[in-house]
C-alpha cells in the first residue's frame, strides 16, 4: 500500500498565513518537563526548538539544578525549578496544577513535552506515569518518558499522546521488534501498534513512520548527520509547538519530522561533521519557509 509522503504542501497546511490580528498564545504555549541533576541540555533544546517551530511561548519545568542552568542559556527561556535533584511523585500535583494553568492562560492552545534528561529511576518513572494519566492536554512522550509508559502502555489508551520512539524504544513500548523487518512490514507494525495502544507513534529511522492507526504518513527527508545528540529533543519540541498551535496528529508529527530533518540538512551544508543540535535549531525557520 502506498502511504502519503510529507511534502512542502503539508508544511504550508500546518503553517498557514497568520491573520491580521493575533493575541499572545494564539500560537501556543509549550511546557517542557525534563532534566535532572546530571542532564540539563535536552529540555532546553526542546524548548528552543518549540520557539523556532512557531510556539508563542515555551517554558521548562525541571529539578532545581537543571532549571538554574537552563535559565542561563537564553533570555527567552523561562525555567521553573522543582525542589530536589530529580522528578518524584511529590512533584506530580505541582506539575498538574501548572499544566492546568497553562490551559487556562493559553485558551487551550497548549501542549506538554516530557522525557528529555529525566533519568530512569523507578520513582521518576512512577511520577511520569502518574502525571500523564491525570492530564487531558496533548502530550509528546519522548526519551526517558517512553521507558516510563512502556511499563503500563494500556493505562494511557485513548489519551492525546504522541510517542517518538527509535526502534529500541518501540520494542520496549510494544514488545515487538522491527529491526529486521522490511520497510512495508515496519509500516504495518507501527499502524497496528498505534491502533492497539490508542496513541500516535512517530517511529524515528531512515524513513520516519507516523501513524495513529488510521492515518499514516512517511517522512523521507533525511540527513546523514542527524545521529548527533539532541536532534530527537529538537524534534519533540517542534511536535509540541505544532500541537500547541492546534495542528492535529499525525500531521503535526509528519511536518515536525520533515522540518527537523530539513533544518538538519541545511545546517549540515555549513557545519558538516561539526554539526550540533543548536545549529539545527537556528535553521528551523528557514526549513519552514522552504
Provide the residue ranges of all domains of the chain, joining segments of one domain with +. Answer: 25-289
Please give the pLDDT value at position 56: 98
| Closest to 29 in 3D by CA, of 130, 158, 137, 145 | 137
Nearest Cα neighbor of 113 from 91, 132, 93, 89 is 132
Superfamily for domain range 25-289: Ribokinase (3.40.1190.20)
Look at residue 224 in the predicted model and tell me its pLDDT.
80
> Going by C-beta distance under 8 Å and a sequence separation of 6 or more, which residues neighbour residue 199?
156, 157, 159, 161, 162, 163, 212
Three-state secondary-structure class, residue 82 = strand
Q: Measuring CA to CA, which residue among 282, 208, 205, 290 is closest to residue 250? A: 208
Cell triple for residue 137? Answer: 492536554
Cα(217)–Cα(254) distance, integer angstroms? 6
State the pLDDT at residue 226: 83
- What is the spatial distance between Cα 222 and Cα 226, in angstroms, rounded to a whole number? 8
- pLDDT computed for residue 227 by the predictor: 86
pLDDT along the chain (290 residues), means of 10: 92 96 97 96 98 98 97 94 97 97 97 98 98 97 98 94 98 97 97 98 97 97 85 98 97 98 96 96 96
Amino acid at each position: 500500500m502506498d502511504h502519503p509522503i510529507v511534502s512542502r504542501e503539508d508544511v504550508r497546511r500546518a503553517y498557514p498565513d497568520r491573520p491580521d490580528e493575533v493575541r499572545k498564545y494564539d500560537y501556543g504555549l509549550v511546557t517542557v518537563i525534563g532534566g535532572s541533576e546530571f542532564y540539563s541540555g535536552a529540555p532546553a533544546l526542546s524548548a528552543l526548538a518549540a520557539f523556532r517551530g512557531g510556539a508563542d511561548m515555551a517554558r521548562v519545568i525541571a529539578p532545581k539544578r537543571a532549571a538554574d542552568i537552563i535559565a542561563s542559556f537564553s533570555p527567552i527561556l523561562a525555567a521553573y525549578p522543582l525542589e530536589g535533584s530529580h522528578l518524584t511523585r511529590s512533584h506530580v500535583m505541582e506539575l498538574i496544577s501548572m499544566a492546568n494553568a497553562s490551559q487556562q492562560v493559553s485558551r487551550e492552545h497548549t501542549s506538554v513535552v516530557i522525557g528529555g534528561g529525566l533519568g530512569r529511576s523507578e520513582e521518576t518513572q512512577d511520577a511520569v506515569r502518574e502525571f500523564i494519566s491525570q492530564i487531558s492536554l496533548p502530550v509528546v512522550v519522548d526519551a526517558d518518558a517512553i521507558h516510563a509508559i512502556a511499563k503500563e502502555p494500556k493505562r494511557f489508551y485513548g489519551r492525546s499522546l504522541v510517542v517518538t520512539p527509535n526502534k529500541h524504544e518501540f520494542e520496549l513500548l510494544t514488545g515487538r521488534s522491527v529491526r529486521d523487518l522490511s520497510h512495508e512490514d515496519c509500516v504495518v507494525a507501527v499502524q497496528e501498534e498505534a491502533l492497539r495502544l490508542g496513541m500516535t507513534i512517530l517511529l524515528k529511522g531512515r524513513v520516519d513512520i507516523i501513524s495513529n492507526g488510521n492515518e499514516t504518513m512517511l517522512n523521507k527527508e533525511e540527513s546523514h548527520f542527524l545521529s548527533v545528540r539532541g536532534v530527537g529533543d529538537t524534534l519533540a519540541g517542534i511536535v509540541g509547538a505544532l500541537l500547541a498551535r492546534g495542528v492535529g496528529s499525525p500531521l503535526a508529527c509528519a511536518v515536525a519530522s520533515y522540518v527537523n530533518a530539513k533544518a538538519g540538512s541545511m545546517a549540515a551544508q555549513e557545519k558538516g561533521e561539526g554539526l550540533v543540535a543548536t545549529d539545527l535549531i537556528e535553521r528551523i525557520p528557514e526549513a519552514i519557509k522552504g
